[in-house]
Each structure stands twice: as C-alpha cells, then as structure tokens.
C-alpha cells in the first residue's frame, strides 16, 4: 500500500499546475493499490483544492525560509517531512525549482532520483518511464531504495476529476531553526510580462531558418499570440543570434510536449525533433516537401511560411 507524497510547488503563493496533474496520477495509483496521497506545501499558498485533486492529507510548513525558494533549506524541510512520514514515493514537478530541489533531497535521503518522468505505474513496486536523449528513446526504471524522488514533467499527466474530498491542513516541523543556507536567491527578475514559458505551454509556435532574418521572428510571435502559445526557435536561428537561447527547442535547448506544436520554416534536424517529438499534435509548414520535419508531423502545408502564417493567424483569430 504505497503512500505518495506530492510536493506542491508555489512561487509567491501561486501554485504550479503540474502539482495537480501528478496528484491526479498519484490518486489513481493509490485508489487501485491502497495507500494515501499526501500533499506537501512549503510556504504560504492556498492549497485548499489539494483535496479535490486527490490528496488524502495536506501537510504544510511555514516560516521565513519559505518566502523565497532556497535549495538547501527546502530540501532539508522535505527531508524532515520524509523522515517523519516515510512516503514510498515523492513526486515534484520537473520545473526549474523541482530540478534544483529534487537531487539535493535525494542525496539527503540517499534514495533513487529520477528527472522528467512522463509515466508512473505501480504493480507491487513503482515503475517510472522517462525520456532520454531528449526523447529519442524512453526508459523504464525501478528502484530498490525505500523511497524515491521523482520529478514529473509538466503536462505529462492530465487533470481529471481527482476524486478526493476536502482536506484539513496539518502543520509539520521543517526543522530549520537556526538554519543558514550557504547560497541564497538575492533577487528574482521577471521576464517580459505575459510571456508563456515553453516547458509549460500547451501550444507552441516555433520558427527556423525559413523566417530568413531576425526581424521576421515577430511573425512567429504574432502567430503564437493569436493561439495563446509560447514562441520557440530552432538551434540555427538561436546560434545566428536572431532569438534568445531561452526560446530554443531541441536536444541542446528545451524539451517540450505541448498539445500543439507548429514548426514554421524548420527543416527538422534530428536534435530539434528530439526536443519536440513527444508533442501531441505537430504541424509543419515548410517550402521543402522533403524536409524531415514532415516525417514527424501530423499535419503539413508545403508552402512559403510568409504566405501561410498570416492567413493561419487570421483564421485562428476568427475562431469563436
């Protein structure tokens, strides 16, 4: 009967959706196998909906250490929780925060650590699926330690009806009295307002060398805006300096799995395909009918993107 702890990631009181996505999966597993789902929140946020998403219990710790993320303090707090409650599995989002927190926690617990999980099953023991080589291949892992810290990729699991009821918050002692971290976050700089993060986006529009020059990237951004999508880029135009690296999709950029990925003017180098091929629906727009991107795509238009995207954008805006 596995008990699964789900870390509720919050920044400035805002809870990341991935928390509820993995809670849904955790609930499905314990509904079949027995056990409980434990939501764990560090800091101040309204996590009342944890119950509705499937948590049996909500554990919270508060204090100055949780006003802003700190790897050392937060991993110590999570280790204190695990020491007190001994969950059989700890799930957290494979986000910037989760990827920073998970390995420290696993090192403290001396247990298995898995990043970017896209699948989770239980049959007497846990089996975790994750992509390697940026998605060119998947691996299934089991572990022999008494618990494991598993980072779950955003959007890997979909929200359902959860199945839980209301839960009351129960405070736990994070054991941080007098704790002084060796490194701290001194400041947080926000990117331009309204920008959607690639790794969390449900839709992405990406541009490649087919946009011809840096100025034309705005066509990609405008199309993305019409779709409520994030804007991505191929390595070629990042290396050319047309777009910041934070937009790069591929094996040396971001690995993404949105519901819709539109690749405009991207030929489809293997390292780009690796980063986006797990997207649910892929659209390719390219002049070259032989471009490898069409082999990865569900829908394609063989034409100049400058003739396609403006009409595409207009048609999207005309949708109700």
Q: Which of 199, 206, 231, 234 binds other proteins (CB under 8 A)?
A: 199
User: Based on CB atoms, which residue is closest to other proteins, 143 or 157?
Assistant: 143
115 vs 216 by CB, closer to other proteins:
115
Binding residues for other proteins, total number by CB under 8 A: 99
Strands 37-42 and 119-122: unpaired
* Closer residue to other proteins (CB): 51 or 275: 275
259 binds other proteins (CB under 8 A): yes
* CB burial string 140-169: b at 16+ within 10 A, e below: eeebeeebbbbbbbbbbbeeeebebeebee
CB-nearer residue toward other proteins: 80 or 316: 316
Part in contact with other proteins (CB under 8 A); list of ranges 20-28, 39-47, 58-66, 309-317? 309-317
135, with CB counted inside 10 A (0-12, 13-18, 19+), is buried
Binding to other proteins (CB under 8 A) within 74-93 occurs at: 75
DSSP string, 31-51: HHH---EEEEEESS---GGGT
- Mapped onto helix, strand or coil, the DSSP state of residue 297 is coil
* Binding-site member from 60, 71, 231, 267 for other proteins (CB under 8 A): 71
Question: Smallest distance from the beta carbon of 57 to other proteins, in angstroms?
Answer: 26
158 counts as binding other proteins under rule CB under 8 A: no
- CA–centroid distance for 170 within its chain: 27
Distance CA 143, CA 129 (A): 12
Does residue 195 bind other proteins (CB under 8 A)? Answer: yes
| Residues 30 to 59 in contact with other proteins, rule: CB under 8 A | none
Determine which residue in the list 1, 168, 171, 190 makes contact with other proteins, applying CB under 8 A. 190
What burial class does residue 241 get, using C-beta atoms within 10 Å of its C-beta: 0-12 exposed, 13-18 middle, 19+ buried?
A: exposed
- What one-character DSSP code corresponds to residue 254? B
Question: How far apart are CB 263 and other proteins at their closest, in Å?
Answer: 11
Burial class (CB in 10 A: 0-12, 13-18, 19+), 101: buried
Cβ of residue 243: shortest distance to other proteins, in angstroms? Answer: 12
- 170 is a site residue for other proteins (CB under 8 A): no
Query: Could you say which residues in the range 276-305 bind other proteins, by CB under 8 A?
Result: 277-278, 280-284, 289, 294-304
Work out whether the CA dihedral 250, 253, 257, 259 comes out positive or negative. negative
Minimum Å distance from CB 261 to other proteins? Answer: 10
Q: How near is the Cβ of 204 to other proteins at its closest, in Å?
A: 11
């Amino acid at each position: 009967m596995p008990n699964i702890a789900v870390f509720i990631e919050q920044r400035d009181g805002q809870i990341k959706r991935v928390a509820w996505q993995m809670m849904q999966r955790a609930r499905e597993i314990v509904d079949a196998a027995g056990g409980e789902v434990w939501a764990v929140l560090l800091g101040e946020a309204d996590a009342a909906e944890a119950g509705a998403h499937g948590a049996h219990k909500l554990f919270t710790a508060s204090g100055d250490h949780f006003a802003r993320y700190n790897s050392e303090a937060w991993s110590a707090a999570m280790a204190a929780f695990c020491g007190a409650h001994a969950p059989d599995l700890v799930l957290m989002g494979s986000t910037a925060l989760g990827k920073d927190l998970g390995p420290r926690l696993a090192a403290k617990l001396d247990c298995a650590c898995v990043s970017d999980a896209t699948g989770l099953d239980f049959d007497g023991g846990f089996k975790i699926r994750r992509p390697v080589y940026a998605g060119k291949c998947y691996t299934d892992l089991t572990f022999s330690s008494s618990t494991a810290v598993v980072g779950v990729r955003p959007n890997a699991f979909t929200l359902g009806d959860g199945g839980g009821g209301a839960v009351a918050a129960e405070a736990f002692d994070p054991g941080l009295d007098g704790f002084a971290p060796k490194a701290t976050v001194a400041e947080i700089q926000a990117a331009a307002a309204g920008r959607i993060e690639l790794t969390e986006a449900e839709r992405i529009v990406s541009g490649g060398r087919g946009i011809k020059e840096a100025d034309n990237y705005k066509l990609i951004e405008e199309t993305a805006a019409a779709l409520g999508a994030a804007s991505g880029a191929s390595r070629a135009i990042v290396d050319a300096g047309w777009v910041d690296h934070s937009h790069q999709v591929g094996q040396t950029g971001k690995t993404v799995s949105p519901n819709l990925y539109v690749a405009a003017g991207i030929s489809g180098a293997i390292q780009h395909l690796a980063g986006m091929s797990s997207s649910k629906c892929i659209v390719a727009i390219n002049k070259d009918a032989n471009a490898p991107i069409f082999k990865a795509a569900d829908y394609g238009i063989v034409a100049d993107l400058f003739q396609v995207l403006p009409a595409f954008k207009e048609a999207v805006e005309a949708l109700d």
